Structure 1
């Protein structure tokens, strides 16, 4: 399978971060999809925005991006991009093909700002600005005929229980009624065993890296996961990333669907420079599939892709007093914390802007194996 040329990735890293709507990222997303499969068709775009309909791009943050879904003969693929910045991609594991889109989006459609303006004018969606979070979920895809609406392309917009739709030209809008019952505070159900969890490779990662780098310490683990806590990946470089620190540098171990590599991807590019805030991770820990059973049920239900990171914070930097080994789970503007020692739900947390690191060549999974 082809990988992006190194010069292309470095060029993308040099581009300035800015707010962007979904249309601006289609070209970068399509190029990323074409590296995965032949003849991909763009079938869905989704993202958490502010009330202006934009997302502030961050060069390597999944959370600050639009999520583009492509379909081909090989199945479905997700590509995360924002403006001209390609971030990463993964194979989409389906939970029922009947619900997955297959028909391509039209070549042009109203942008989110137009959609939100029309909805406000029609009185079907009037969100108050939220200075702390981007919590307006916007989704565009083709839908079958339903409730008097013809088959066609639609924007679906929601915040909490409030939900509305507009056609893709932003000419007609509908307010959707019948809010679902509130979810329980914590999912708390039996664990759904993930097929490709963080714990599956943890000991192998430690043994492999320490054989090459004696004394190396495991500092954090991360991936883009599905609802079962399994990595959404095709190759090791975009699967679970185990990042180690040793005297003189850092090293990584990647794993996906039973395959491993000494390459890895850092999904938001911020943790690498914060080892001074962390203690090494020691085994065992509550696995990624278990962690997802501890957060609010609606969070898992509404997020098909979840950024998961395990870190062992020094007490002074712990996100919550008394909790050091912590799973951080992100989707859009939402963040939840789970204690990876006890398995207890710590609670929701505020997301902070990614730390800007100047003149740092961040690893995109393109380096040669050690």
Structure 2
């Protein structure tokens, strides 16, 4: 895939984040009420309230997709802006917990969050897009140079335009960092930026009728329940319905359960727990949930710059339903 060259602010951001790593690790980097993560190492400055008008800047021009790392422990729910994402990826993190990456291309919500830290496997996943913008709160200190060298625009609170990030009221850090997407990328780039390889259209033949499907991580679970009224799969996480701060129940027209290799990475959190690496390049089996049915399919992604193809056993491409897609990476 061809790559474009864009001006980045990551060099300064990396230096600041590295300098802040030691002191930040003493801050609230562990997930409240759940198992710890490494977020403290890359924790950004704290704001007790939203920035005032004097801090705000005009939006920039539209560009590639925006990917936002979103907190997914109980203390972070309900999340904000999740309903506007074109794709929501669910991956494992330390302690068997889960974290989300929401990808925005066709529309931008007013705010997204809570924003949390990046992982090494995010870099491989994001290579399918052309110079995507990654919004994240920070990262493990030794991972920051890899993020800086990756073909993406890394935007932490230190590097982003003033007013793009703010601390929300009513929640304790680190579960209160939010992003205003328009102040980061200006406008939604459009569906053409979604270079995932996904195909949309009529459902394939066959499939098995299903009322619900549950995917379990070691310390988290996702349940998708078919709603004919919403014509989508109602999302529940850890046994609780997924409702945004606007009171909207998330219902995804398509859910992909993709079985992948999840191995140990080179990185650990502040307590020594290994950060899992979700390997999204390769091939394997998957299940596509749409229209109240489950379709057994195969997935293939030849290289990091490729999208992912879903096919039936005879090689026929499988269409997804139009609208939001959830991709849950389950252990093969």
**TM superposition score category, shorter chain reference:** under 0.3
Higher RCO by CA contacts (8 Å cutoff, separation 6 or greater): 2
Max radius of gyration: which structure?
1
Under a length normalisation based on structure 2, what TM-score does the superposition of the two structures give? 0.27
